Amino acid sequence: MKRSAGLRSGANQREQKTAPGRRPTLQISGAGPLKRLAKVVSSNIKMQVRQLAIFAVLFGISCMVLGADGKPPFSFELQDDRLIISHSTKPILHYVFRDDRIRRPYFAHVRTLDGIQVSRRHPPVSGEDATDHDTMHPGIWIAFGDISDEDFWRNKGTIRHERFDLGPVLANNELTFATENTLLSSVSQPMARLVNRISFSAQPEGYLLVWDASFTPTMENFYFGDQEEMGFGVRVATAIIEKNGGTISNSSGLKGAKATWGKTAAWCDYSGVIDGRRVGVAVMPDPKNFRLSWFHNRDYGLMAANPFGQNAFTKGPKSKVGIARGETFRIRWGVFIHSSSETDSPGLERIYRDFLMALR
């Protein structure tokens, strides 16, 4: 049975503890006591928010925190196999951490804040969507075609979800959670520990998702190889793919899958028009990652940011990024899911600056 929980005010919490028929009275004189009371109430509310989030994760309930306007900015519902994240009570995406067919965590059913789906339907609908790579391109994901000769893009290896290390936590109009995962070879041998730290923050044109991944090998000779199919990927909705009139553009001003393929960029956007709204996703690698990302863009809806494919994209020397056992390798990407009027631009340069601020 699913339950929902909300937090409105410290006063309401106190009223619940007061005997029936009696209301608590509070007398305050002078500004000093009032300020001290405000600090106590604020501290208590923050503590209750965190406790509520932890309770929700432990007992599998839904949770929301009300904003200043009385509406919940973000809320979540934890199920056995996924975390459903909503904004203003409307689901915007699913974080799926257990799936028998897709052996790694991913986001599916990705929608804008106004409810328009921008990721390809999962599973794709035959006759309406292209059905290729249905277990490789579920929505938004990180995956790697070669880690120590094991393939986590094509679901040969497994990124197994172990637990939530943090939250989900709702605070300051943001939602944050962290998960612990184990990389397993195709013969189920442990290879590394992966901690994913994921956060969401809303803006007028959409919301920013930041995916922060830290890998700590538990084996010798752990390395990231060199392929096109590595890194942070998205598969956009059929209606906005380039073949159907959608647009791919990057921070250098290049447009189209052919022009942007194999190029590094601060950001790359895939967008189109659905129901009179210009909607899309903009992928932004952290400029402090160990290397810039080349973009693997296709006219059928794929966009991937890949810092590992040095030979795959440039025909340069074959790359092999080795991480010593027990050392931690960190890499981050952001993706902005946006919606604006058909004739407006989401202002991606400003959004990119906001992304850089969020990384601090």
Task: Identify the CA nearest to 105 among candidates 180, 165, 217.
Answer: 180
Residue 14 is assigned to a structural domain of this protein: no
Residue 93 is assigned to a structural domain of this protein: no
DSSP 105: -
Residue 27 is assigned to a structural domain of this protein: no
DSSP 228: S
Residue 15 is assigned to a structural domain of this protein: no
Name, in order, each residue with C-beta under 8 angstroms of 266's C-beta and a sequence gap of 6 or more: 250, 251, 284, 285, 287, 352
> What's the confidence (pLDDT) of residue 173?
87
The Cα–Cα gap between 142 and 105 comes to: 8
> What's the confidence (pLDDT) of residue 41?
35
Q: What are phi and psi of 134, to 5 degrees?
A: -65, -30
CA 140-141-142 angle, to 5 degrees, is 150
Q: Give the CATH number for residue 117.
A: 2.70.98
Taking the chain, what is the end-to-end CA distance rounded to the nearest angstrom? 40
Number of structural domains (the chain) is: 1
Ordered alpha helix ranges (H), 158-208? none
Neighbours of 49 (CB within 10 A): 17
| The two structure tokens encoding residue 185 | 């070879």
> What's the confidence (pLDDT) of residue 36?
42
Q: What are phi and psi of 84, to 5 degrees?
A: -95, 120
pLDDT digits 0-9 by tens, 77-125: 999 999 999 999 999 999 999 999 999 999 999 999 999 999 999 999 9
Residue 220 is assigned to a structural domain of this protein: yes
The Cα–Cα gap between 227 and 311 comes to: 8
| The two structure tokens encoding residue 300 | 């059928």
Residue 6 is assigned to a structural domain of this protein: no
> What's the confidence (pLDDT) of residue 172?
86
Task: Identify the CA nearest to 274 among candidates 239, 310, 225, 230.
Answer: 239
The Cα–Cα gap between 28 and 71 comes to: 30
311 conformational bin, left if phi > 0, alpha if psi -120 to 50, beta if neither: alpha
What does the pLDDT profile of the chain (360 residues) look like in tens digits? 343 333 333 333 333 333 333 333 323 233 344 344 334 334 443 444 444 444 454 444 456 555 544 456 999 999 999 999 999 999 999 999 999 999 999 999 999 999 999 999 999 999 999 999 999 999 999 999 999 999 999 999 999 999 999 989 999 889 999 999 999 999 999 999 999 999 999 998 999 999 999 999 999 999 999 999 999 999 999 999 999 999 999 999 999 999 999 999 999 999 999 999 999 999 999 999 999 999 999 999 999 999 999 999 999 999 999 999 999 999 999 999 999 999 888 899 999 999 999 998
Q: What are phi and psi of 240, to 5 degrees?
A: -115, 10
Residue 119 is assigned to a structural domain of this protein: yes
Residue 28 is assigned to a structural domain of this protein: no
The Cα–Cα gap between 118 and 337 comes to: 8
Task: Round the average pLDDT of the chain to a whole number and report it.
Answer: 86
Task: Identify the CA nearest to 151 among candidates 117, 101, 185, 105.
Answer: 185
pLDDT digits 0-9 by tens, 155-203: 999 999 999 999 899 998 899 999 999 999 999 999 999 999 999 999 9
> What's the confidence (pLDDT) of residue 64?
57
> What's the confidence (pLDDT) of residue 157?
98
The Cα–Cα gap between 295 and 226 comes to: 14
The Cα–Cα gap between 134 and 132 comes to: 5
The Cα–Cα gap between 197 and 179 comes to: 7
> What's the confidence (pLDDT) of residue 31?
39
Its domain, for residue 190, covers 99-358
